[in-house]
Amino acid sequence: MAKVTIPKLKQMKADAEKITMLTAYDYPTAMLLDQAGIDILLVGDSLGMVVLGYPNTLPVTMEEMLHHTKAVCRGTKDALVVGDMPFMSYNISHTEAIKNAGRFIKEGGAAAVKLEGCGQHMIDITRAIVDAGIAVMGHIGLTPQFIHQMGGFRVQGKDQDQAQALVDGAKRLEDAGIFSLVLEGMPDEVASRITATLSIPTIGIGAGAGCDGQVLVIHDLLGLTGQRPPKFVKQYANLFKDMQEAIGAFKREVQSGAFPTKEYTY
C-alpha cells in the first residue's frame, strides 16, 4: 500500500472511496493494522479505558499518550497516525495547546492530532493549532471528554436544534482548517447531513453508514474488553474468550505436567 496522506484522504472522499480508521495503542497492533491496509491509526485517548483501566478518558496524561504514540509509530509504515490530545492538554490556552500538539508530532512521530468539541473556544484553539502548522482532526457529537456535561455517554443531536448546532459546528471547524472530522454517537441523518455539507472527509462511530469512513476502538472490534459492546459496535472476533481458553489450557497443562513435553525442551 502507498503512504496515506491528508491529500489522499481528501481524494478518497471525492472518489467516494470509504476510509478505514481503527485505534491502536501499541507496536504489534499498529503493525497488524498497517499491514491490513487500514488508512488511519488513531492513538485514541480511549487508551485510558481499554488499556490503562481508568473509568473514563479524563485522567489520561500527555506522557501516557506520547508513550503509546511512539510505539504505534514504530509499528507503522503506510497508515496516517493521529494522536488524540488528552483532556486539558489543549483546553487552557492557545500556547499550551500548540505546544502539546507539537509534542505529538516532534516526540510522538504522529502526522496529526485530534481534539474534541465545536464550541467557539475549541474552534479558536483548533484554528491556532492549524495556523501553527499542525494538521488537526476534529471530533464532535458524543465527545467522551465532555462526559459530565453530557450526563454520560449519550447520543447527541437528537432534536432539531441540537442537530443544527452540530451541522453549524462542523462547518465552523472546517473553516478553521481541520482535514477530517470524527462524528460520534449521533443519528445517521445528522451525520449524513454533515458529510454532505463538508468537503473534508467525515469518519463515523455510532453515526450510521452515511459518513465517508468508519472508526472503531480495536478492543471492541476484536472482543477484547470482556464486556457487552455498545449497539454501534460489530464484534468481529471474541479474543477475550479465546485468550481465557488459552490461558486456562496453559494452567491445566502445567499443573498436570502435560506442558512442557520433549518437543518444547532443549
Q: Could you list the residues that contact ligand KIV (CB under 6 A)?
A: 23, 42, 44-46, 84, 139, 182, 184, 205, 215, 217
CA distance 38 to 44: 15
Catalytic pick among 64, 116, 174, 184 = 184
Minimum separation from the CB atom of position 45 to ligand KIV (A): 5
Nearer to ligand KIV, 185 or 187 (CB): 185
140 — phi, psi (to 5°)? -135, 170
Question: In the chain, where does DSSP find H-type helix?
Answer: 6-14, 27-35, 47-50, 62-74, 94-103, 120-131, 147-150, 160-176, 188-197, 218-221, 239-256
Minimum separation from the CB atom of position 60 to ligand KIV (A): 9
Minimum separation from the CB atom of position 162 to ligand KIV (A): 20
Residues 193, 194, 198, 200, CA torsion sign: negative
Nearer to ligand KIV, 122 or 205 (CB): 205
Q: Going by C-beta distance under 8 Å and a sequence separation of 6 or more, which residues neighbour residue 194?
A: 166, 167, 170, 181, 183, 202
**Do 90 and 104 form a contact (C-beta atoms < 8 A)?**
no
Q: Please indicate whether residue 184 is annotated as part of the active site.
A: yes
Nearer to ligand KIV, 95 or 227 (CB): 227
Minimum separation from the CB atom of position 105 to ligand KIV (A): 18
Nearer to ligand KIV, 180 or 255 (CB): 180
As annotated, the active-site residues are 184
